[in-house]
Amino acid sequence: MRVSISVAVAGASGYVGGEVLRVFSAHPDVEFGALTAHASAGERLGVHHPHLRGLAARILEPTTPDTLKGHDVVVLALPHGASAEIAASLPDDVLVMDCGADHRLTSADDWAEFYGGEYAGAWPYGLPELMTGKGNKQRPALVGAQRIAIPGCNVTAVTLGIQPGIAAGLVDASDIVAVLANGYSGAGKALKPHLLASEALGAATPYAVGGLHRHLPEILQNLAAAGADAARISFTPVLVPMSRGILATVSAPLWPGVDSSQVRTAWEQAYADEPFVHVLPEGEWPSTSSTVGANTALIGVGVDEKAGRVITITAIDNLVKGTAGAALQCLNLALGIPEVTGLEMNGVAP
């Protein structure tokens, strides 16, 4: 006999909240409780997410601790700075997953520099595939956890792409270069002139150039966990005219004497047992279109012999493996449910 899991979603009117509802709807044990919003409270969910037909008639409630209490799981799909106060008022025996940034960083100084405001402390980090030492991963830290910080989407793509080389001691982590092509849903639903179709269509636009992106300290935190004592990364995200997806090209110098066979072996061994991270055959490179709607990360790996650098290209759906799918993956681990339950591995094409 299956036991239902009551899930409340705060911030249900936004892109992340809507994707949490879509992805979690496929889980056989999940039943949705309160669906909340701020300015949209009192409106039908279908006004904001007409594609979610099974939930379209639900009325959005105010985002308050009282509304969110009484559930087995609370998913916070809120802007940074909005989650910590609500989370602090929820009972300790509730599984709370923060899809925002409030509990990702272990350094108060990094929080002050990149976000500002009061530092709320770090929760167990919700990237099961994160390498945390020779042969170890983050997964065991999530089993039975009651508070989980879901990673940033860009962070997931960069981390998965380069961490095998760091953990295996093959790359010089002091000179990592990452350039990402990002879909516009990663910027959220707020109406801003540079996010309008008239500005975005037909254009590729860089942003947060020169070490300013808020995901930077989180990436470095992950690379340190994988074994990089003093990693340095040049990180440049670029908005491109697609609604969802991230294509992360990451390169780093190989240490002298490392050959291409060692590189491929390291990446294949790192993800051999991972259900959602797939290293493509040699010479194949991923496309974001192959990951749309799926909780998969597709990774192509190669070596630029003339430059002496490893090149990895990682494709994910920023709203699934980058956020909502990762949250469901973590829910399964935390509650002792098989990790793949309710999660889609096949993308939508064409």
Question: For residues 324 and 308, what is the distance between their CA atoms, to the nearest angstrom?
Answer: 37
Q: What is the mean pLDDT of residues 104-132?
A: 97
Yes or no: say if 86 and 68 are a contact pair by the CB < 8 Å rule: yes
CATH 3.40.50.720 positions along the chain are 5-150+321-334
Percent of the chain with pLDDT over 90: 91
Q: Report the pLDDT value the prediction gives residue 1, as an integer from 0 to 100.
A: 53
Write out pLDDT tens, residues 75-116: 999 998 899 999 999 999 999 999 999 999 999 999 999 999
How many residues are there in the chain? 350
Q: What percent of the chain has pLDDT over 70?
A: 99
Average of per-residue pLDDT values in the chain? 95
Q: Which two tokens stand for residue 211?
A: 């070490």
Cα distance between residue 180 and residue 162, in whole Å: 13
5-150+321-334 CATH: 3.40.50.720
Q: Which CATH class is domain 154-318?
A: alpha beta
pLDDT of residue 278: 98
Q: Which helix (H) or strand (E) holds 313?
A: strand 309-316
- Do 319 and 255 touch, CB atoms closer than 8 A? no
Mean pLDDT value of segment 199-225: 94
Give the number of C-alpha atoms closer than 13 A to the C-alpha of residue 180, restricted to the C-beta side.
34
Q: Tell me: the pLDDT tens digits for 245-285?
A: 999 999 999 999 999 999 999 999 999 999 999 999 999 99
What is the reported pLDDT for 2?
65
CB atoms within 10 A of CB 335: 17
How high is the pLDDT of residue 82? Answer: 92
From the candidates 9, 153, 170, 176, give the one annotated as an active-site residue: 153
Residue 50 confidence class, pLDDT cut points 50, 70, 90 = very high
Residue 153 bears catalytic tag = yes
Over range 115-135, report the average pLDDT. Answer: 94
Amino acid identity, position 348: V
